[in-house]
Amino acid sequence: MATFIHRKEAMSMEEIVSQYIKSMKIAAGLNQQRIFAAWDACSGAGPFTLKRFFKGGTLYITLSSSVLRSQLLMQKDLLIEKMNAFLTQDELFTDDNRTVGFITDLKLK
């Protein structure tokens, strides 16, 4: 027998996706991918990025260009602000995750 959802119980797509992400426990991995996408979008250094790693609020980036690394180091605080603003606007980023949250520090190698 089919069950129907009454209008009072209807949920928006945003709520459904949010519940799905929480129930499947994929929020940490999804957040990490969104952080890497924020790095590519905000820094413009995606093609020069060799390795990416995020742990404990710190984003570790290995770049292939020392010149680019020194330029980005001068803009470190601005980059962190831009990436966190990017993540705030991202619908798929969940800020209530304990393991993978917003970026607090940036380490460039």
Q: In the block, which residue shows the tokens 């996706």? A: 17
Tokens found for residue 84? 């966190």
Question: What residues does each domain of the chain span?
Answer: 30-108
CB 69 within 8 A of CB 63: yes
CA dihedral 39, 42, 46, 51 (to 10 degrees): -20
> Which has the minimum average pLDDT: 2-11, 61-70, 95-104?
2-11
- At 76 the pLDDT is 96
Arch. (CATH architecture) of 30-108: 2-Layer Sandwich (3.30)
* Residues 51-75: tens digit of each pLDDT: 999 998 999 999 999 999 999 999 9
- At 101 the pLDDT is 84
